[in-house]
């Protein structure tokens, strides 16, 4: 019996839903992709710590050490699941022991059933989670919905010559004819799918459905899947979505997501820090400002006649004037980036510039007020595209982050001036000032602290982070500004089912350090190739190999093709390479999965932080070995990286953040840990991991590996000759496990 992490998350959630005292800020951090779900239960805000907490939620999440215990845990959690089918807003609280007579002395308490928001990084991962959800008994009892963007759900034919994006097309097509012409006309739009959206409901879909099911049903009914899913979400008790829908406050509002007193699950939670920083980072581009002013001036000519015409005109005029001031400010700063493409800006200078030009803290309330009005009347603003709305929302976000609570987050941002992609080319276009010429200057506010956005999630009843690579927890809790008091980091896979080792040197006995300079050396390239060849020779079926970058991958492959090693590799395994072209990815993966099942097997070359390393499932024969090449340190020349390191150094004492270099190392090894975890996917799975780089064996770096990797690695550090020896421990491991 295989039970995935997703299934057990659902089970755990039902326990959380049914226990009334389980309130306040809380996170359940699942440490590894295993069927038995080894987990960390962490709590804050008055929740009882330790085993009592686990007992309260039905013992679903902690230390289920086998398929039988998993099944029992799922059965226990079903007690909570039963409450979800109630059509009322109240449920009976399930106490510690529902069948205990002593509990009858306490009258039952009633409260609203929380909604579960389950977020993943990608739509592909959503599909996997829903597939697991279908395997549970809960899918027929819990009403669900799935939220996705128009790119994946819109049924209208899209003409790129007419529309910039599907969002723009949708905004115009759903405007009702009565709002544009005559209020007495029926409320119909230019989109038949939108007009018929209410015909697509839960009754037209299976109990558990993914995006493909939703779109297929919508096409049959001529009903819009995008708006139908939003309507169904209002009646659902578990809602699946990409997790930027939960993190970004504007997307939350647009999708009508209310986290207050509900439950939030962030799967693949090791990405949460980066996602929060990325979502809070704002870019205000001069070209977008110019386009927005053009659209607003055009819309002003066609404002619907009526009693509120003056108010609407006032809002449009406010934004035209404000955007013109922003444009002037950007022009004045263009000299700062005349020699370099970027220039860092002191925050005090930036705030002073805003205040002196009347677009600072004193003006933010008006900006936010008029934006709310603009969003309400958006359907009646002919010609205003989603890019303009998105720009104004971005500006509102930027100002909101800076000025919130007496500017408490101002120090968490770094302003940066930069030129656009066409930094050396001047552009001409019609604008509100007539024809003008100038560089496309932008202001980017780099967010240094994920806590800026994560604090918006804390209104939830409970927050659950799930990942195999949350370690080190200390770093994450301080970055997110959340407390995790109770941790359990064990791994359920037995030592006999996993082999882990490192390769320390080249064939010439030179230390094998996979730095950028060393990777140019032929002996390093050849030694890595021979090591991979050796792994493929002793490993049945599928092998995954991770490179630091596509550039590094191409460099090594070219060398191996020149030396003939590529042909030898191809004689052992079918060869596949991860593509940086998204459209090719699904087809490549389909072919690889098929090839890995046959006796010859296959090898898939991929990159750290790519699609293959992040959340993809490689069960059983699909990955009997993982080879990692080098340590994927972030690019030290990236301004975001260097500024983040400076920020952490500056605030390490007060905010208890990791020092800059420690943070830098954590980012590298977290990506490595994620890649390593691709080959051990359930309790009865087995596989080997070879890490090629002598730096991994250094004590200071071992601490950055996941605890289970450190435990299984031990002192298994190979020389090149030891790896090539036919009777080494890797060979014996593969021979023994292949007998199963």
374 and 325 in a single domain? The answer is yes
Pairing status of strand 263-267 against strand 116-120: parallel
- Give the residue carrying structure tokens 């930036």: 350
Phi, psi at residue 396, to the nearest 5°?
-65, -40
206 and 245 in a single domain? The answer is yes
Residue 485: predicted pLDDT: 58
488 in a structural domain: no
Cα gap 500→626, rounded to integer Å:
9
88 and 133 in a single domain? The answer is no
CA-nearest of 684, 168, 687, 666 to 381 is: 168
486 in a structural domain: no
CA-nearest of 557, 579, 546 to 668 is: 546
Q: What stretch of H or E contains 558?
A: helix 550-563
Residue 313: predicted pLDDT: 86
Q: How many CB atoms within 10 Å of residue 346?
A: 10
154 and 75 in a single domain? The answer is no
- The tokens for 285 are 């581009």
Residue 267: predicted pLDDT: 87
267 in a structural domain: no
Phi, psi at residue 247, to the nearest 5°?
-85, -40
Residue 109: predicted pLDDT: 55
CA-nearest of 114, 269, 103, 351 to 673 is: 269
The segments of the chain whose pLDDT lies below 50 read 1-3, 11, 14-104, 107, 178-182, 185, 307, 422-436
664 and 708 in a single domain? The answer is yes
| SS3 state of residue 79 | helix
Torsion of CA 478, 483, 488, 489, to 10 degrees: -10
Cα gap 456→465, rounded to integer Å:
15
558 and 676 in a single domain? The answer is yes
423 and 306 in a single domain? The answer is yes
Q: Is 509 exposed, middle or buried (0-12, 13-18, 19+ CB in 10 A)?
A: exposed
Cα gap 410→129, rounded to integer Å:
38
Phi, psi at residue 27, to the nearest 5°?
-135, 140
352 and 332 in a single domain? The answer is yes
Cα gap 141→77, rounded to integer Å:
13
HSE of 564, CA atoms in CB hemisphere, 13 A:
0
SS3 per residue for 399-450: HHHHHHHHHCCHHHEEEEEEECCCCCCCEEEEEECEEEEECCEEEEEEECCC
Domain that holds residue 547: 495-737
513 in a structural domain: yes
490 in a structural domain: no
Number of domains in the chain: 4
154 and 300 in a single domain? The answer is no
Q: Is 362 exposed, middle or buried (0-12, 13-18, 19+ CB in 10 A)?
A: exposed
Query: Which CATH number is 611's domain given?
Result: 3.40.50.300
Residue 122: predicted pLDDT: 83
- Give the residue carrying structure tokens 């289920």: 64
Q: Is 430 exposed, middle or buried (0-12, 13-18, 19+ CB in 10 A)?
A: exposed
485 in a structural domain: no
Query: Which CATH number is 301's domain given?
Result: 1.10.275
Please, what is the Cα angle at 439 between 433 and 444, to 5 degrees?
A: 105
Residue 16: predicted pLDDT: 47
619 and 728 in a single domain? The answer is yes
217 and 153 in a single domain? The answer is yes
pTM over 0.85: no
Cα gap 244→274, rounded to integer Å:
11
Residue 94: predicted pLDDT: 29
Question: Which parts of 123-180 fold into alpha helices (H)?
Answer: 123-134, 150-153, 166-173, 177-180
649 in a structural domain: yes
CA-nearest of 238, 706, 249, 251 to 453 is: 249
275 in a structural domain: no
Residue 338: predicted pLDDT: 63
HSE of 344, CA atoms in CB hemisphere, 13 A:
11
Q: What is the pLDDT of residues 501-529, one digit of tens each?
A: 999 999 999 999 999 999 999 999 999 99
Q: Is 32 exposed, middle or buried (0-12, 13-18, 19+ CB in 10 A)?
A: buried
Phi, psi at residue 240, to the nearest 5°?
-100, 140
251 and 289 in a single domain? The answer is no
């Amino acid at each position: 019996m295989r039970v995935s992490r997703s299934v057990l998350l659902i089970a755990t959630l039902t326990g959380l839903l049914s226990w009334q005292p389980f309130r306040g800020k809380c996170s359940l951090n699942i440490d590894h992709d295993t069927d038995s779900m080894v987990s960390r239960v962490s709590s804050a805000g008055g929740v009882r710590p330790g085993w009592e907490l686990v007992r309260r939620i039905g013992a679903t999440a902690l230390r289920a050490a086998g398929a039988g215990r998993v099944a029992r845990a799922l059965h226990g959690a079903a007690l909570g699941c039963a409450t979800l089918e109630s059509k009322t807003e109240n449920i009976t609280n399930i106490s510690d022991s529902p069948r205990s007579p002593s509990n009858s002395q306490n009258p039952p308490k009633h409260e609203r059933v929380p909604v579960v928001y389950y977020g993943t990084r990608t739509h592909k991962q959503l599909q996997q989670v829903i597939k697991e959800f279908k395997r549970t008994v809960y899918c027929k009892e819990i009403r669900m919905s799935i939220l996705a963007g128009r790119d994946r759900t819109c049924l209208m034919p899209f003409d790129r010559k007419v529309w910039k994006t599907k969002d723009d097309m949708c905004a115009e097509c759903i405007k009702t004819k009565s709002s544009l012409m005559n209020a007495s006309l029926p409320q119909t739009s230019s989109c038949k799918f939108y007009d018929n959206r209410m015909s697509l409901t839960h009754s037209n879909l299976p109990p558990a459905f993914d995006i493909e099911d939703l779109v297929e049903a919508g096409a049959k009914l001529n009903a819009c899947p995008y708006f139908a899913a939003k309507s169904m979400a209002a009646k659902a008790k578990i809602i699946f979505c990409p997790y930027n829908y939960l993190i970004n406050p504007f997307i939350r509002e647009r999708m009508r997501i209310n986290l207050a007193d509900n439950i939030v699950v962030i799967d693949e939670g090791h990405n949460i820090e980066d996602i929060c920083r990325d979502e809070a980072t704002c870019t205000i581009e001069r070209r977008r400002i110019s386009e927005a002013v053009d659209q607003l001036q055009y819309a002003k000519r066609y404002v619907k006649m009526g009693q509120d015409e003056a108010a609407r005109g006032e809002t449009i005029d406010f934004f035209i004037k404000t955007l013109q001031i922003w444009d002037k400010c950007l022009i004045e700063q263009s000299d700062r980036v005349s020699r370099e493409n970027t220039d860092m800006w002191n925050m005090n200078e930036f705030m002073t510039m805003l205040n002196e030009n009347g677009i600072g803290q004193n003006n933010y309330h008006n900006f936010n007020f008029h934006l709310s009005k603009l969003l309400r009347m958006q359907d009646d603003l002919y010609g205003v595209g989603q890019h303009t709305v998105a720009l104004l929302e971005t500006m509102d976000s930027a100002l909101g982050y800076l000025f919130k609570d007496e500017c408490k987050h101002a120090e968490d941002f770094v302003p940066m001036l930069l030129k656009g992609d066409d930094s050396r080319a001047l552009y001409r276009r019609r604008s509100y000032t007539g024809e003008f010429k100038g560089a496309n200057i932008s202001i980017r506010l780099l967010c240094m602290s994920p806590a800026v956005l994560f604090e918006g999630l804390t209104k939830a009843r409970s927050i659950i982070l799930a990942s195999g690579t949350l370690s080190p927890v200390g770093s994450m809790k301080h970055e997110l500004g959340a407390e995790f008091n109770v941790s359990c980091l064990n791994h359920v896979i037995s030592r006999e089912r996993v082999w882990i080792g490192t390769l320390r040197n080249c064939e010439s006995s030179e230390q094998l350090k996979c730095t950028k300079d060393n990777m140019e050396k032929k002996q390093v390239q050849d030694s890595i190739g021979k090591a991979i060849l050796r792994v493929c020779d002793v490993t049945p079926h599928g092998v995954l190999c991770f490179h630091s970058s596509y550039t590094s991958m191409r460099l090594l492959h070219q060398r191996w093709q020149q030396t003939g090693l590529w042909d030898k590799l191809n004689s052992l395994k079918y060869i596949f390479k991860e593509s940086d072209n998204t459209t090719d990815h699904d087809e490549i993966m389909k072919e690889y999965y098929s090839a890995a099942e046959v006796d010859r097997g296959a090898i898939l070359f991929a990159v750290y932080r790519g699609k293959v390393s992040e959340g993809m499932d490689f069960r059983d024969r699909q990955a009997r070995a993982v080879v990692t090449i080098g340590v994927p340190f972030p690019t030290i020349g990236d301004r975001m990286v260097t500024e983040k390191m400076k920020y952490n150094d500056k605030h390490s004492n007060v905010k208890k953040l990791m020092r800059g270099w420690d943070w830098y190392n954590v980012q590298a090894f977290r990506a490595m840990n994620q890649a390593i975890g691709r080959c051990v996917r359930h309790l009865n799975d087995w596989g080997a991991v070879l890490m090629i780089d002598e730096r991994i064996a250094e004590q200071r770096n071992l601490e950055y590996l996941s605890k289970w990797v450190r435990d299984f690695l031990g002192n298994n550090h190979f020389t090149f000759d030891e790896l090539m020896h036919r009777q080494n421990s890797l060979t014996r491991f593969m021979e023994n496990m292949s007998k199963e």
